[in-house]
Amino acid sequence: MKKIINNPDDVINESLAGVAAAHADLVRVEYDPAIIVRVDAPVQGKVGIVSGGGSGHEPMHGGFVGMGMLDAACPGDVFTSPTPDQMEAATKAVDGGAGVLHIVKNYTGDVMNFEMAAELAQAEGTNVEAVVIDDDVAVQDSLYTAGRRGVGATVLAEKICGAAAERGDDLKTVADLCRKVNANSRSMGMALTSCTVPAAGEPTFQIGEDEMEIGIGIHGEPGRERMKVKSAKEIVGMMSEAIVSDLPFNSGDSVIAMVNGMGGTPLIELYLVYNELNEFLKEKGITIARNLVGNYITSLEMAGCSITLLKADDELLELWDAPVLTPALRWGE
């Protein structure tokens, strides 16, 4: 294992300390239990938005804490769900009297831990709603699986729900919007290399120099198929076809498109992917109304990318354009 760290056991805390030092104007960090909280939380009268998940996906979620997005994030160990005491502390810290929305990615661990946290917070009188994100088309959503995984749509949902909460929408409205974003989003990822969890010390999986994994998850979980590496055009074609045919997205649709890096792929390649995606969608009569290109939901140092499309209407675009000020996403005003 080759990483710029001091000690595998200290990675999370030392990285959190860096976040606290770099972004003291936007967030504060608490360590026991570990949470990243918007500096002016709780905002009175505003719905609080909490998300969280395993670490190793930075900037998600901690990098999205701030005005117009999350009120708090709960970082778990690398690739491991955070625990209910973190989520309960985060919920309490952001409860401005209008209730709290939990945005949960669909992984068994995350769902069960957030469920326990919601029970604890509700027992103490905080109104909590939870929305589970499950946008990954690589996994069949059937009775025989734990359902589709939550991936890129989480970033879009956090931005859009954050804007809705900021303008004063109530808990039910914000939660309904979150469900709407999830219902209209689909994603798919691919990997060229594996990643190494610091505490494990070895790559999560083996992959040949000339191979790629299509449909990879954000924790190095295998996807749909292992195959020889293909051209960017073919790769984007395979992923986009799976996404577009799943919802389905139709000619005339307008979308928010995210081309996301898994952590080890340079921007030069991500923009190349965006170009292919743009061509592919044009061909289908689908317009990209807004886009995001960069590393937003990563998998440590894995090389690879994912594509997320959200079918957008005027309401979603207005919320997308609303100002946001967080360590990793900021625009407007």
| DSSP structural state of residue 333 | -
Largest Cα span, the chain:
55
Q: Rule CB under 6 A: choose which of 81, 83, 91, 187 binds ligand ATP.
A: 81
Q: Which helix (H) or strand (E) holds 163?
A: helix 153-166
Candidates 155, 126, 123; CA nearest to 53 is 155
Q: Minimum distance from CB of 222 to other proteins (Å)?
A: 6
By CB under 6 A, residue 80 contacts ligand ATP: yes
Which entry of ligand ATP, other proteins, none binds 149, CB below 5 to 8 A by partner kind? other proteins
Q: Which DSSP string corresponds to 206-244? A: ---TTEEEET--TTS---SEEEE---HHHHHHHHHHHHH
* CB closer to ligand ATP out of 42 and 217: 217
Which entry of ligand ATP, other proteins, none binds 253, CB below 5 to 8 A by partner kind? none
The answer to whether the CB of 260 falls within 8 A of the CB of 216 is: no
Q: Minimum distance from CB of 53 to ligand ATP (Å)?
A: 8
Site string for ligand ATP, 97-136 (x = CB under 6 A): ----------xxxx--------------------------
Q: How many Å apart are CA 116 and CA 120, to the nearest integer?
A: 6
By CB under 8 A, residue 113 contacts other proteins: yes
Which entry of ligand ATP, other proteins, none binds 200, CB below 5 to 8 A by partner kind? other proteins
Overall size of the chain counted in residues? 333
Q: How many Å apart are CA 24 and CA 22, to the nearest integer?
A: 6
The answer to whether the CB of 121 falls within 8 A of the CB of 92 is: yes
Mark whether 102 is an active-site residue: no
Judged by CB under 6 A, which stretch of 5-13, 74-82, 154-162, 306-314 contacts ligand ATP?
A: 74-82
Q: Minimum distance from CB of 107 to ligand ATP (Å)?
A: 4
Site string for other proteins, 12-51 (x = CB under 8 A): ---------------------x------------------
For residues 313, 319, 321, 325, the Cα torsion angle rounded to the nearest 10 degrees is -150
Site string for other proteins, 198-227 (x = CB under 8 A): -xx---xx-----------x-xxxx-----
State yes or no: cis peptide before 59, omega within 30 of 0: yes
* CB closer to ligand ATP out of 85 and 269: 85
Q: Minimum distance from CB of 269 to ligand ATP (Å)?
A: 29
Q: Which DSSP string corresponds to 261-283? A: E-BSS-HHHHHHHHHHHHHHHHH
Q: Minimum distance from CB of 129 to other proteins (Å)?
A: 20
* CB closer to other proteins out of 9 and 315: 9
* Residue 173 in tokens: 């409205």
3-state helix, strand, coil in the chain (%, to 5): 35, 25, 40
* CB closer to ligand ATP out of 33 and 109: 109
Euclidean distance between the first and the last CA atom of the chain, given in angstroms as a whole number? 43
Mark whether 57 is an active-site residue: yes
Q: By three-state DSSP, how is residue 197 classified?
A: coil
Residues in contact with other proteins by the rule CB under 8 A: 33, 54, 76-85, 107-109, 112-113, 115-116, 139-140, 143-146, 149, 197, 199-200, 204-205, 217, 219-222
Q: Which residues are catalytic?
A: 57, 219
